[in-house]
Amino acid sequence: MRAAFLTMTTIAIVSVLSLSGCGGSPPAGNNGNNNGGVPTAVIVVTEGDTVVAGSTLHLAGEQSQPSAGQTITGYQWTVEAPNGAAGAFVPSAQAANPTFVVDVVGQYTFRLTVFQGATSSATPAEAVVQAQAPTTPVPVISVQEGLQVAPLTTLHLSAAQSVPVPGGTIDRWEWTVEGPAGSVSTLSPGANVQSPTLEANVAGSYLFRLTVHQGALFSAAPAEATVRVVPTGTIHVELTWQTPNDPNPADSGSDAGADMDLHLTHARAPARPDNTDMDGDGKPDPYFDTLYDCYWFQPLPDWGPAGTAGNPSLDRDDTDGAGPEVISIQSPEANAVYRVAVHYWRDHGYGLSLATVRVRLNGTLAFERTGVEMADRDLWCVADISATAGTVTALIAPAGGGDWIVHNYSHPDFQ
């Protein structure tokens, strides 16, 4: 995948149209041209024809005109750029409305060919943009993995395409990140390097900002890039937690934080007759089952019948504070009901924790319960999932209602 480039544009000008095959803007309400059955390409450059190097151009081809009775079915962009330019069309050169970072001083000539089926525009549309030297350094963020990724992706960020004032070099970088609720991921190896990484382990949006320095000069405004983390499987269950007495939930190591565990059980559980009824619902408990519970001891159980795509996967286990723990199923079994539970395995002396569970079905948030207070060894019976019905049903305590919390829960095989 091409890297995604974003920056803060420092100049805004009225849109400029560059037309091929017609003498001006297409009239409102025109559903086609009279160009002999050939489509006409139109480029709109939102930022105008003169910008500062480092700016992000928003290019639009959606005003291109098909011939009468036809529709535009494809786009192909090309660019002639100055030597050393590294910009790319984002998301691709086949998008109707891509962006492009002009990261080097000089002239950029953009051309667009449009298609209606096998027929292309007779002549490409053309737009010329001049990128002028900046008076302050301009930050540019690139994200190697793109602006939409799956959970647990390690993002490789770079400020290498930032543009200095001519005659100097950028010598300092300042990154910040605002992650989704529950994320404690930090930039590695730090926030003051040119190219940090970050594990995007919680679903949601991550907003990155970058300020660059060149001696006493610094960027007039930070660059921004938002990366969306979207689950790809049918079922995605995520556990995060806050522990008020943990001074650094982002640290790692033995006993560095509270250890909570996510469980996902199948309705066929329990497979063993010796499971007891500690949760008080009148049936043997499914939790810690040797086959039909997906958790830290059994991260990849074989549930069938759809092969590995029908099996759950503990995608991330966290033993030292905050999470997330993640369980996913790509292709759930038809009509199966899965149960979500959280067990407070060890508090490691940090005391009470506040647990949050989110369930996404086909990438869409279907269930969220936040800030459920749990003590060491508590079990929270959270919800039942039916992917076939597209429902997530919160579980209520059999006696007294409210969250279904079982205190001092331990299985005889896991003490």
CA dist 142 and 100 (Å) reads 11
Task: Lowest mean pLDDT of 151-155, 180-184, 278-282, name the range.
Answer: 278-282
Q: What is the pLDDT of residues 194-222, one digit of tens each?
A: 999 999 999 999 999 999 999 999 999 99
Q: Are 286 and 294 in contact (CB under 8 A)?
A: no
Pairing of the two strands 197-200 and 74-80:
unpaired
Instruction: Give me 57's structure tokens.
Output: 């151009």
Q: Which CATH number fits domain 235-406: 2.40.128, 2.60.60, 1.10.3470, 2.160.20?
A: 2.60.60
CA distance 247 to 41: 59
Model confidence at 98, in pLDDT bands (50, 70, 90)?
A: very high
Question: Are the CB atoms for 293 and 263 separated by under 8 Å?
Answer: yes
CB 98 within 8 A of CB 52: no
d(CA 179, CA 320): 20
Backbone angles phi and psi of 272, in degrees to 5: -110, 140
Report yes or no: 61 and 96 within 8 Å, Cβ to Cβ.
yes
Task: State the number of CA atoms in the 13 A half-sphere of 385 facing the CB.
Answer: 31
Average pLDDT over residues 147-157: 96
Q: How many CB atoms lie within 10 A of CB 1?
A: 12
pLDDT for the residue numbered 234: 95
Structure tokens at 32: 């086609």
3-class DSSP assignment, residue 160? coil
Q: Which tokens hold the place of 77? A: 């962009």
pLDDT at residue 282, rounded to an integer: 80
Q: Report pLDDT digits (tens) over 281-328.
A: 888 889 998 889 999 999 999 997 767 889 999 999 998 888 999 999
Banded model confidence at residue 30, pLDDT cuts 50, 70, 90:
very low
Whether residue 327 contacts residue 152, with contact meaning beta carbons closer than 8 Å, is answered with no
Q: Which fold has domain 4-132?
A: Immunoglobulin-like (2.60.40)
CA distances from 403 to 59, 162, 297, 372 (A): 51, 51, 25, 8
pLDDT in tens, 53-68: 999 999 999 999 999 9
Which fold is adopted by the domain 140-229? Immunoglobulin-like (2.60.40)
The domain ranges of the chain are 4-132, 140-229, 235-406
Domains 4-132 and 235-406 share a fold: no
pTM for the full predicted model: 0.80
Comparing CA positions, the residue from 81, 217, 60 lying closest to residue 139 is 217
Check whether the bond before 398 is cis (ω within 30° of 0). no
Q: Across the chain, what does the average pLDDT equal?
A: 88
d(CA 150, CA 171): 33
For 185-190, the CB contacts below 8 A with 24+ separation are 185/250, 186/250, 187/157
Query: Cis link prior to 305 (omega < 30° from 0)?
Result: yes
What average pLDDT does the segment 381-386 reach? Answer: 97
Q: CA 96 from chain center: how many Å?
A: 22
Q: Is the pLDDT of residue 350 over 90?
A: yes
pLDDT at 224 over 60: yes
pLDDT tens for 236-254 read: 999 999 999 999 888 877 7
Both tokens of 146, joined, read 């793109």
Q: Confidence class of residue 32 from pLDDT cuts 50, 70 and 90?
A: low
| pLDDT for 35 | 62
Looking at residue 33, what DSSP letter applies? B
- Strand, helix or coil for residue 106: strand
pLDDT for 277 equals: 79
3 state DSSP class of 310: helix
- What pLDDT is attached to residue 382? 98
Integer Cα distance of 350 and 220 in angstroms: 44
With beta carbons less than 8 A apart as the criterion, state whether 142 and 100 touch. no
Q: Which of 199, 146, 163 is nearest to 52 (CA)?
A: 163
Of 141-155, 210-224, 238-252, 370-384, where does mean pLDDT reach its minimum? 238-252
User: Which pair of structure tokens corresponds to residue 307?
Assistant: 């092969």
Inform me whether the pLDDT recorded for 13 exceeds 70. no
CA distances from 337 to 322, 387, 407 (A): 28, 8, 25
Q: Is the pLDDT of residue 16 over 50?
A: no
